[in-house]
Amino acid sequence: MDRDGLKVVPEAVPAAVAEQPGPRGGTFRALRSRPFRLYFAGQIASASGTFLQQTAIGWLVLRLTGSAADLGLVLAVGGVPSLLFGPWGGTIADRVDLRRLLIGTQSAYALLAGLLWALAAAGEASVAAIVAISVAGGVVQIADSPARQAFVGSLVTAEDLSSAVSLNGVVVNSARVVGPALAGVLILTVGTTPCFAVNALSYLAVIAALVILRPLRSGAPRHAGGGVRAGLRYAASREQLWLPLVMMALVGLLSFNFPVILPVLAKDTFHGTGGTYGLLSTVLSIGSVAGSLGVGLIRHPRRPYLMAASLAFGLGLAATAVAPDVAVACVTLLAAGAAGFSFVTLASTTLQLHSSPAFRGRVMALWVFVYLGTSPVGSIITGEIIAAGGSRAALLTGAAACLAAAGIAARVHTPPHPDAALTDLTPA
């Protein structure tokens, strides 16, 4: 019986769960799994549509109000539900069938996108309506985000999990480039309304994939009892879990605030234009894709990898802070993007490998909370740092947070193997 009052029952672990020797298959080895291929294809369409819509919303709000403050409000409100209630989404994910839950949440997203499309087509897409739809989407995200994180583990073998997580990262980071670029073409040629239509229709791809695919392991819940507190106790009792969460909380709070830093770095530090900002953002995205792909080569991430990635991210941010011109900053941002998103992918994979299926939804809800939930607070802190010392000071602060996270990892011992993935935890 473990310290949470749960009976740990060893079980025979099939090849679909345990790490097995054999050919690595490279970064793309997760694509050997048909269920993951279907899910991956659906995510490509859906993620691109999401970033396309975000770009179109920004343009529409500015056109309606001409106010950057209103734009900031609209972009912020969608994250408020997850900030307030995010950890409870993991309890939902641990108590229901993940595939069915995701079909429901993705359908809800599609309906919200369809509603925005209809309102825009009728000329009724007011700021109030956009805010309401954003808040509703944030409510759906409470359950959707941890469910999606946990669901990936049922689509591939344990040895291919790092590949699956890295490819998911590639999808998101590529969509950050493809979505806005496609939005720019559509806005220029046919306006914002078709952007909302494309996003609504993009959800059909992922819903169809979820309906067709059958996970390698059952998505039926194996709930260990308790709620958020039980999940917190479970994560706090295992170094393999609390270490990446603490590291991500530090790094997410102070190091991943590029939307706040890069515009100021481009305009005020390098005296550039919107094109300069676009260049810096694109280079960062290219680096993030490369970093995500690189992590896919690792079968099982370990603490030294987390420590090295955090250290490299900090050095990349520090180098960007002292870059004398845009050309050097592009090189350092490329390295920072690769290291930063390597760290994110490694931490996410570590949490999934080391968490029992009975707690995985709650663990991944904590992950979403420290990764995304820290953004609003971190943006405010970063804004104050920029106001006091400029963008270079904000980058150096982020670098210090990464070095602190690496220092914590250097002092913590973690078991060498993903033992939690090999056990079934049931109520005592």
Strands in 61-159 per DSSP E: none
Q: What is the mean pLDDT of residues 162-179?
A: 78
Q: Quote the percentage of the chain above a pLDDT of 70.
A: 86
| Region 386-410 average pLDDT | 94
User: Using 50, 70 and 90 to split pLDDT, how confident is the model at 52?
Assistant: confident
Residue 17 has pLDDT above 50, yes or no: no
The angle, 0 to 180 degrees and rounded to 10, between the axes of the packed helices 360-372 and 80-95 is 170
| Contact criterion met (CB below 8 Å) for 96 and 222 | no
Q: Which two tokens stand for residue 314?
A: 């900090």
User: DSSP class of residue 190?
Assistant: T
Indicate if the pLDDT at residue 15 is higher than 50. no
Confidence (pLDDT) at 68: 54
Alpha-carbon distance of 94 to 20, in angstroms, equals 27
More confident residue, 417 or 274: 274
Class of domain 1-9+31-221: mainly alpha
Q: Which residues pair with 345 in a beta bridge?
A: none
Helices then strands, each counted (H, E), the chain: 16, 2
* Amino acid symbol at 423: T
Q: Per-residue pLDDT averaged across 278-296, rounded? A: 83
Summarize pLDDT for 367-385 with one digit per residue, the tens.
Answer: 888 887 777 778 788 888 9
SS3 track for 235-297: HHCCHHHHHHHHHHHHHHHHCCCHHHHHHHHHHHHCCCCHHHHHHHHHHHHHHHHHHHHHHCC
Range 114-140 average pLDDT: 92
d(CA 333, CA 282): 10
Q: Which 8-state DSSP code applies to residue 153? A: G
Confidence grade of residue 198 (pLDDT, cut at 50, 70, 90): very high
Q: Is the pLDDT of residue 9 over 50?
A: no
Q: What confidence category does residue 247 fall into, taking pLDDT thresholds of 50, 70 and 90?
A: very high
Joined together, the tokens standing for residue 40 give 């991956």
pLDDT at 329 over 90: yes
- Lowest-pLDDT range of 189-193, 249-253, 352-356: 352-356
Q: Is the dihedral of CA 54, 55, 57, 62 positive or negative?
A: positive
Q: 301: Cβ–Cβ under 8 A, 6 or more apart, which residues?
A: 162, 295, 346, 347, 349, 350, 353
Domain boundaries, the chain: 1-9+31-221, 226-414
pLDDT at residue 224, rounded to an integer: 54
Question: Does 251 score more than 90 pLDDT?
Answer: yes
pTM over 0.85: no
Question: Which range, of 18-32, 104-118, 144-158, 364-378, averages the lowest pLDDT?
Answer: 18-32
- pLDDT for 67: 63
Stretch (H or E) spanning 424: strand 423-427
**How far, in Å, CA of 358 to CA of 339, rounded?**
31
Q: Give the residue, 69 or 289, on which the prediction is more confident.
A: 289
Residue 36 tokens, joined: 């993951």
Phi, psi for 10 (deg, rounded to 5): -60, 145
Class of domain 226-414: mainly alpha
Higher-pLDDT residue of 82 and 189 is: 189
Closest CA to 174 of 78, 293, 85, 345: 293
The amino acid at residue 258 is F
1-9+31-221 against 226-414: fold identical: yes
Dihedral of alpha carbons 292, 293, 294, 295, sign: positive
| pLDDT of res. 88 | 84
pLDDT at res. 139? 92
Q: How confident is the model at residue 21 (pLDDT cuts 50, 70, 90)?
A: very low
Residue 13's pLDDT band, with cuts at 50, 70 and 90, is very low
Minimum mean pLDDT range among 243-257, 298-312, 412-426? 412-426
> Over the chain, what is the mean pLDDT?
81
Query: Where is pLDDT greater, at 102 or 222?
Result: 102
